[in-house]
């Protein structure tokens, strides 16, 4: 019972201070399809990503997030398609998002491309059996309404890219998870907006440099700003340092094992008030690329 009480307290505090936004990703530049449907097909090949994030390690009930994404361009067309699945856990709360992505790319000129994307899916929120079966809460109709319910959702995004530059703006979920009285179930179920971009500099034939940023803003929650600087060595290894304003800083590495497989890892050192209670956050991503369909352009590798 004491453990349940501790989890509930952490859950409520988290909702008020952190969880008003959707899951946080440090390696967002490799997982853009999770929040921007216009990114679907932008790699011009078939890409599969699997990511696991353990946030605030050492803190009971801290967020744990897994994502699976697949996206590809469609040969002979300006369309891209994708599928993204996000499984997120915070204390006794669980959230599952499943969405299909479709994009349409317009060639503004020979070098400039603008894509529009649509994300259509469903979200499921529920609570652990340990909480629902507790005598103090198992007769609560509010909790009963939460359990195993799916709700449809829709999102949209735009994505602009050139040979060396890219920008994106997206809102992956527009609809809120409301009950019959138009009351929100969760404080973190709000519209999140993502703005990201980057530029690739070719220092020489063996070294490339890429600064990137991600801004995430939500009504009623603090804005999150990530900035990073990455160096690519001999088309094999990305080394990156990043800073998340008022929250964390850290490093990541992404190694291309072979032509198809790459592995990435990141570590966040927490600088917020949670610092005394956690050893940091860890994130691992695996990416596999298929050289199909045939690329629609010979673009520099801005992303991996």
Domain membership flag for residue 26: yes
- Indicate yes or no: pTM above 0.75: yes
> How many folded domains does the chain comprise?
1
Whether 208 and 199 have beta carbons less than 8 Å apart is answered as: no
CATH number at residue 18: 2.40.160.40
Q: What pLDDT tens digit does each residue of the chain (304 aa) get? A: 444 444 444 444 444 434 345 788 999 999 999 999 999 999 889 999 999 999 999 998 899 999 999 999 998 899 999 999 999 998 888 889 999 999 999 999 888 999 999 999 998 888 776 665 666 655 666 565 555 678 899 999 999 999 899 999 999 998 876 555 555 555 556 789 999 999 999 999 999 999 999 999 887 778 999 999 999 999 999 999 999 999 999 999 999 999 999 999 999 999 999 999 999 999 999 999 998 765 555 555 565 5
Domain that holds residue 175: 2-290
- Whether residue 105 is contained in a domain is answered as yes
302 lies in a domain?
no
Tell whether 74 is covered by a domain. yes
In a domain, 299, yes or no: no
């Amino acid at each position: 019972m004491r453990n349940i009480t501790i989890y509930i307290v952490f859950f409520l505090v988290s909702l008020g201070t952190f969880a008003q936004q959707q899951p946080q990703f440090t390696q967002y530049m490799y997982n853009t399809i999770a929040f921007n449907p216009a990114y679907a097909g932008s790699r011009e090949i078939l890409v599969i990503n699997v990511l696991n994030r353990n946030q605030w390690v050492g803190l009971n009930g801290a967020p744990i997030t897994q994502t699976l994404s697949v996206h590809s361009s469609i040969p002979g067309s300006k369309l891209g398609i994708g599928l993204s699945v996000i499984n997120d856990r915070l204390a006794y709360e669980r959230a599952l998002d499943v969405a299909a992505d479709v994009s349409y790319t317009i060639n503004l000129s020979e070098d400039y491309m603008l894509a529009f994307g649509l994300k259509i899916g469903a979200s499921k929120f529920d609570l652990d059996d340990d909480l629902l079966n507790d005598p103090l809460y198992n007769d609560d109709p509010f909790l009963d309404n939460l359990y195993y319910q799916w709700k449809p959702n829709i999102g949209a995004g735009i994505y602009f890219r050139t040979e060396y530059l890219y920008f994106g703006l997206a809102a992956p979920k527009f609809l809120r998870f409301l009950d019959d009285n138009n009351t929100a179930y969760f404080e973190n179920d709000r519209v999140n907006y993502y703005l990201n971009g980057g530029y690739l500099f070719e220092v020489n034939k063996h070294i490339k440099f890429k600064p990137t940023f991600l801004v995430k803003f939500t009504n009623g929650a603090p804005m999150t700003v990530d900035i990073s600087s990455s160096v690519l060595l001999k088309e094999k290894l990305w080394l990156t340092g990043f800073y998340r304003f008022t929250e964390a800083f850290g490093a990541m590495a992404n190694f291309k094992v072979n032509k198809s497989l790459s592995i990435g890892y990141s570590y966040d050192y927490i600088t917020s008030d949670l610092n005394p209670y956690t050893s940091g956050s860890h994130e691992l991503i695996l990416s596999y690329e298929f050289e199909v369909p045939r690329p629609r352009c010979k673009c520099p590798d801005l992303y991996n």
